[in-house]
Amino acid sequence: MKLITKDIDYAVKALCRIARDSEKIISVKELAKELNIPKPFLRKIMQILQKDGMLKSYKGPNGGFLLASSPEEILLIRIIEIFQGPLKLNECLFRRGICADTTTCVLKGKIDGIERRVISELRVITLASLLEKRKKSDDTKKR
């Protein structure tokens, strides 16, 4: 299981780029060129984010996208859920049905604990925190 798939990676990159110029409507063409992401794939990702309410879209020759909310309100866990659904590290399956031992299984208890910790960590990662980390990294490189 991959936690960060290619579409999640591209979505985060695009959202970060849009957030850096928060007042400017940015087109898919511009994003695709700047981020080196295939335009049709990026267009699909942007439509999914817009449909889910994370982006506002504007049509026409100067059309493109803006964030629908502030970078502080956009959580990495939410982006993951948009593209993959709820994060589940373990679903005990036995043949065609769910394992009958889910309440007493020692392994499931351990995995569920790990899952809770991972989700807890992901809930504090915002688009703003990713931008801040990038800014600090860029500032360090300039020195």
Give which of 58, 51, 52 is closest to 75, Cα–Cα.
52
Question: What pLDDT sits at residue 52?
Answer: 95
The C-alpha atoms of residue 140 and residue 129 are separated, in whole angstroms, by: 17
The C-alpha atoms of residue 51 and residue 9 are separated, in whole angstroms, by: 18
The C-alpha atoms of residue 141 and residue 130 are separated, in whole angstroms, by: 17
CA triple 45-138-73, angle to 5 deg: 45
Query: Contacts from 115-121 at CB under 8 Å and sequence distance 24+?
Result: 115/87, 115/88, 115/89, 115/90, 118/3, 118/87, 118/89, 119/77, 119/87
Q: What is the pTM of this model?
A: 0.83
pLDDT digits (tens, 9 = 90+) for 122-132: 999 999 999 98
Domain coordinates in residue numbering, the chain: 6-142
Average of per-residue pLDDT values in the chain: 87
Give which of 25, 28, 125 is closest to 68, Cα–Cα.
25
CATH fold of the domain at 6-142: Arc Repressor Mutant, subunit A (1.10.10)
pLDDT digits (tens, 9 = 90+) for 34-68: 999 999 999 999 999 999 999 999 998 889 999 99
Task: Report residue 1 as tokens.
Answer: 């299981």
Give the residue ranges of DSSP H helices in the chain.
6-20, 28-35, 39-51, 76-84, 106-122, 127-142
